Amino acid sequence: MSNKVVVIYSGGMDSYTVLNRAIKDGKEVHALTFNYGQRHVKEIDVASAVCKRLNVPHQVIDIRAINALLAGSSLTDDIEIPEGHYEEQSMMSTVVPNRNMVLLSLAIAYAVSMKAEAVYYGAHSGDHAIYPDCRPEFVHKMNEVSLLANYEPVAIVTPYLNNSKIEILTDGLSMGLDYSETWTCYNGREKACGKCGACVERLEAFTENKATDPLSYEA
């Protein structure tokens, strides 16, 4: 049985925790990062630096050409990033149409080509309200399809599917992870904005864990 896995690694705190969880669980990790034209492209540089430090094989794939088909998201279009919590309806503007199905399909193909047993990604319960492609129903169905779609079955693994970002951070801190090696803010500026949904949820997770976020914030 192969011990090789592909981790979809954005450079954010969730996928950073997933990456390190897979390593800690003894997997042979290959990281895959997508440049899909996200305005917070800074996360890709962060991901590359982490993989270099950990000596994890890392592929950065430029799929920006598909943006001609994926209009209407504030993460990729010239639309203002909303402020507030993920559970607010305003955050729906950050949905990139069918993003995780596209990224998972590419990651599964990569896994098949390198004879990996699974694709890991960081879906969690905090995303369920806004992002349909992070909900358990989607993950379970995609896993069923992935196991059928190729001669060599590839499982989709979501270690934190039923956990909150607070609980993800708790696990990461228990592993001694340094979250200064992550980027969460949807605004790709020098400092994190502290106001977008990604920042609000991140700061909430640190507060609930009685820990200090090592990132610098504008506000």
Is residue 122 a known part of a binding site? no
Is residue 15 a known part of a binding site? yes
CA distances 6 to 68, 111, 191, Å, are: 27, 6, 30
Is residue 147 a known part of a binding site? no
Is residue 37 a known part of a binding site? no
Is residue 32 a known part of a binding site? no
Distance CA 108, CA 192 (A): 32
Distance CA 136, CA 63 (A): 26
Is residue 51 a known part of a binding site? no
Is residue 110 a known part of a binding site? no
Is residue 134 a known part of a binding site? no
Torsion angle in degrees (nearest 10) through CA of 92, 81, 163, 129: -10
The H-assigned helical ranges of 25-79 are: 42-54
Q: Which two tokens stand for residue 26?
A: 């003894």
Is residue 12 a known part of a binding site? yes
CB neighbour list of residue 154: distance below 8 Å, 6 or more residues apart: 108, 111, 112, 116, 117, 118, 119, 146, 147
What are the backbone dihedrals phi and psi of residue 131, each rounded to the nearest 5 degrees, phi first?
-105, 105
CA distances 101 to 104, 105, 200, Å, are: 5, 6, 26
Strands 58-62 and 118-120, bridge-based pairing: unpaired
Please state the residue numbers annotated as binding site for ATP. 9-19
- Point out the annotated binding site for Zn(2+): 185, 193, 196, 199
Q: Which residue ranges are tagged as binding site? A: 9-19, 185, 193, 196, 199
